[in-house]
Amino acid sequence: MQELEKDWGLKLGELTRICKFEICVRNEAKIRSYTLGMNLIHAKDVEKDWGLKLGELARIWKGGCIIRAIFLDCIKHAYDRNQNWLTYWLTP
């Protein structure tokens, strides 16, 4: 940290704020990417009348070998409460 303070001319508190901001930005990017994917699936579900439960899809994917994200628990619970909750993240 001292090297960063010296090289960048930033104090520890400023570096901490930058790191917290970066974490927030990454989380928002993750939410938006999941939103896009889930909205595509939802649109095709409506078109084909498949009757998918998006929260259940998130639960299944979490246990799979490709996607093992705790974040999917949050998505599952949100979709269980409201099938359209992620649409909020796409609203400018």
The domain ranges of the chain are 2-90
Residues 56-81: pLDDT tens digits?
A: 888 887 776 555 677 777 777 777 77
What is the residue-averaged pLDDT of the chain? 73
Percent of the chain whose predicted confidence (pLDDT) is above 70: 63
**What's the pLDDT score for residue 2?**
55
Helices (H) and strands (E) in the chain, counts: 4, 0
**What's the pLDDT score for residue 50?**
95
9 vs 61, residue with greater confidence: 61
**What's the pLDDT score for residue 92?**
47
Taking the C-alpha atoms of residue 47 and residue 29, their distance in angstroms, rounded to an integer, is 27
Q: Given the structure tokens 């259940």, which residue do they identify?
A: 56
Taking the C-alpha atoms of residue 51 and residue 48, their distance in angstroms, rounded to an integer, is 9
